[in-house]
Structure 1
């Protein structure tokens, strides 16, 4: 009986290990396969060590560009996204709910691509907010309700400190864009994301920002 239990738990552990995907692989320069997307001036992204760990450094000087990975993720298999991040300075006196203040020292976003059916495209932005409270959710001032902003870190968060995050992306999509009334309907709408992106941007406010990101990893639990 003991041997059987060991085999079962070993199999479960192996399954959980296999149901994990590091999208950045900073130690192996995996982030270099991500595409650069420039909106207004180019932010600089480099890999190096910062405060005891390998990180992706993002330096924005009144610019807005990000790193984009086009990859379909099945959220019924790996719904959890984990990452770490650190910012050295936040952006003062900024109304992030306005077009002039739509800047973030750090953000990670996931996209459901509707293709030609543009009305089905949705994006959820996990942001480090300089002026909102942690946990606040709002519509993007440029894109409206199709793009949701979620403050994972807020104005009370400390600068110069690494924070470890873990989010159930599938449940966050349901919570922010609306429950479709049944598990079947929710899976049909939110099962897959198609794009993941990282961006530090300060083009609207005209400020500078220096931030750091750890690996982005999707897991089953």
Structure 2
């Protein structure tokens, strides 16, 4: 198990480094899945080089609307959209999703249970002036090895198994990533759920300060730690000002 955890941590570093956050952002909001002709249109694979099995993503039609279906089976990978968005005083993230099941071995507090049938990943710009020596050293090493900058802090909105809805916990692999349980348990499995979150308020609660720019938003369905399987469906992901939802 120790060997697998080490490989996972290295793979995550490599995958995020490969996400070329120094490049030019494609847009100010993720391209809606309902309007895509291909998953390559504004979205990029987020794959883990040292994890052999990748989750599968494809466009499907559900209730006359195009969505992304993700299938995880002892696998891990995602899709991520490159952005450049300053959150300001308030910024709402809204999406809908559905899962077939949760994982019996899922546990957001432990590395062995760090799997989710569905998650939304929000990556923020790295703030070097607030980082400690070892964090700067780690990032310098990654840049030397991969030629890319890592993002900074991240929020992971998850469909959890054991973690109660509304709970915030640090990711067991990386404390700069905070997991937020927005749905939990199997009671609502098989049903479409709509979620709306204030990214600014969540970031302040997670990290104790105002958020920097958002540099990426992704989806991920993974099952490589638990070895289980699930299917998830993701609808459009929207970034909205408060005025837009009044």
Normalised TM-score (structure 2): 0.72
Aligned pairs for 1:18-57 (under 5 A) are: 23-29=30-36, 31-32=39-40, 33-39=42-48, 40=51, 41-51=53-63, 53-57=65-69
- Higher-strand-fraction structure: 1
| Residue number among 143, 163, 182 corresponding to 2:193 in the alignment | 163
Give the 3-state SS of the residue equivalent to 2:107 in structure 1.
Answer: coil
Specify the structure having the higher radius of gyration (Cα): 1
Alpha-carbon distance between aligned partners in 2 of 1:207 and 1:156, rounded to the nearest angstrom = 15
Paired residue for 2:171, among 123, 126, 140?
140
Q: Distance in 2 between matches of 1:195 and 1:171?
A: 18
Give the 3 Å change call, closer, same or farther, for CA 98–157 of structure 1 in structure 2: same
Candidates 203, 206, 210, aligned match of 1:173: 203
- The separation in 1 between residues aligned to 2:106 and 2:70, in whole angstroms, is 20
Name the CA distance, whole Å, in 2 between partners of 1:28 and 1:52.
12
* 1:74-85 correspondence runs (5 A): 74-76=86-88, 79-85=91-97
- Against the structure 1 CA distance between its residues 115 and 170, is the aligned structure 2 distance closer, same or farther, given a 3 Å change threshold? closer
RMSD in angstroms over aligned alpha carbons? Answer: 2.1
Q: Counterparts of 1:154 and 1:81 in 2: how far apart (Å)?
A: 18
Deviations 1:38-80 (A, max 9, x none): 1222111111112453211000111100101121112128711
**In structure 2, what is the Cα distance between the partners aligned to 1:45 and 1:206?**
18
Cα distance between partner residues in 2 of 1:203 and 1:138:
20
Task: Give the equivalent residue in structure 2 for 1:66.
Answer: 78
User: Does the 8 A contact of 1:93 with 1:131 survive in 2?
Assistant: no
Structure 1: runs of 5+ lacking an equivalent? 1-20, 180-185
**Pairwise mapping of residues 104-115 of structure 1 onto structure 2 (< 5 A)?**
104-114=116-126
**Separation in structure 2 between the aligned mates of residue 69 and residue 197 of structure 1, nearest angstrom:** 6
Aligned length: 191
Show CA shifts across 1:168-201 (max 9, x none).
101110011114xxxxxx3xxx141111111000
